[in-house]
């Protein structure tokens, strides 16, 4: 577009930027995997083991650090680990929500006539929550 409008200087800048983006693009899947919510020490340990170098984020951990470790060679395993971490995180969050839902369920006993036994009340709420959680998981 810039060349068509005789804007050669801007066209050169745009070409340089396009080249830089193309050069950086292969890093994006690996970086996204490393930024996955739910990455824990065990995931970083697995990446470290696969890469043969200690990989653990710290204050000031940058893309340059990642590039200097040459982690691009291990993109596939890093993506696999990041995907696993994301799934585990989703399960953990679902479990937390489920636990919170069960905190409001109370079962109580009501004496049954004069038999000396009791009936349990509150199954309706518990059954509804259980049915919902089974469907969602």
Task: Give the mean pLDDT of the chain.
Answer: 90
Q: Looking at the structure, do residues 109 and 83 belong to the same domain, yes or no? A: no
Q: Looking at the structure, do residues 130 and 66 belong to the same domain, yes or no? A: no
Residue 125 reports pLDDT greater than 90? no
Q: Which domain holds residue 76?
A: 8-90
Cα dihedral 127/132/136/137 (nearest 10): -10
Question: What total of structural domains would you count in the chain?
Answer: 2
Residue 3 reports pLDDT greater than 80? no
Q: Looking at the structure, do residues 17 and 48 belong to the same domain, yes or no? A: yes
Q: Looking at the structure, do residues 86 and 114 belong to the same domain, yes or no? A: no
Measured CA distances, 50 to 1, 28, 29, 75, 76 (Å) = 44, 19, 17, 10, 10
Q: Looking at the structure, do residues 69 and 129 belong to the same domain, yes or no? A: no
Q: Looking at the structure, do residues 133 and 111 belong to the same domain, yes or no? A: yes
The DSSP annotation for 46-95 comes to: HHHHHHTS-----TT--HHHHHHTTGGGGHHHHHHHHHHHHHHHHHHHHH
Q: Looking at the structure, do residues 32 and 56 belong to the same domain, yes or no? A: yes
Measured CA distances, 115 to 59, 76, 79 (Å) = 68, 67, 63
Rounded to an integer, the average pLDDT of 24-51 is 94
């Amino acid at each position: 577009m810039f060349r068509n409008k005789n804007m050669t200087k801007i066209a050169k800048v745009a070409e340089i930027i396009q080249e830089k983006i193309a050069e950086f693009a292969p890093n994006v899947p690996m970086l996204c995997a490393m930024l996955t919510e739910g990455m824990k020490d065990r995931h970083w340990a697995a990446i470290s083991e696969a890469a043969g170098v200690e990989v653990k984020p710290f204050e000031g951990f940058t893309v340059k650090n990642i590039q200097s470790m040459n982690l691009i060679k291990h993109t596939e395993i890093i993506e696999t680990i990041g995907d696993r971490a994301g799934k585990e995180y989703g399960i953990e969050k679902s479990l937390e929500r489920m636990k919170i839902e069960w905190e409001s369920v109370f079962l109580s006993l009501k004496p049954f006539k004069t038999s000396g036994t009791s009936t349990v009340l509150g199954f309706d709420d518990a059954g509804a929550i259980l049915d919902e959680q089974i469907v969602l998981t």
